[in-house]
């Protein structure tokens, strides 16, 4: 399970030059916080993926895992 978690967490990056250093989905400017906020408001995964077609379900899982480990 640890390898799978590490693979997911590789999708999240922190760069102080992008979004003021907030954790983002790699190669995007979409913050983990934004995705978590959408999910907290009840947005289904499919709606998030439709609104942000350049991210994947794995990216959403990575955001959840990142938050769980924070």
Which of the four pLDDT bands, split at 50, 70 and 90, describes residue 7?
Answer: very high
What is the arithmetic mean of pLDDT over 31-60? 98
> Average pLDDT, whole number, for the chain?
95
Element (H, E) at 67: helix 57-69
- Give the whole-angstrom CA distance, residue 66 versus residue 7: 12
Q: Is CATH 3.20.20.150 the right assignment for the domain spanning 2-69?
A: no
pLDDT of the residue at 1: 65
Percent of the chain clearing pLDDT 70 (strictly above) = 99
pLDDT average, residue stretch 41-60: 97
pLDDT tier for residue 64 given thresholds of 50, 70 and 90? very high
């Amino acid at each position: 399970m640890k390898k799978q978690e590490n693979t997911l967490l590789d999708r999240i990056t922190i760069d102080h030059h992008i979004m003021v250093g907030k954790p983002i989905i790699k190669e995007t400017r979409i913050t983990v916080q934004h995705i978590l906020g959408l999910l907290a408001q009840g947005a289904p995964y499919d709606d998030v993926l439709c609104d942000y077609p350049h991210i994947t379900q794995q990216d959403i899982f990575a955001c959840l895992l990142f938050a769980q480990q924070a």
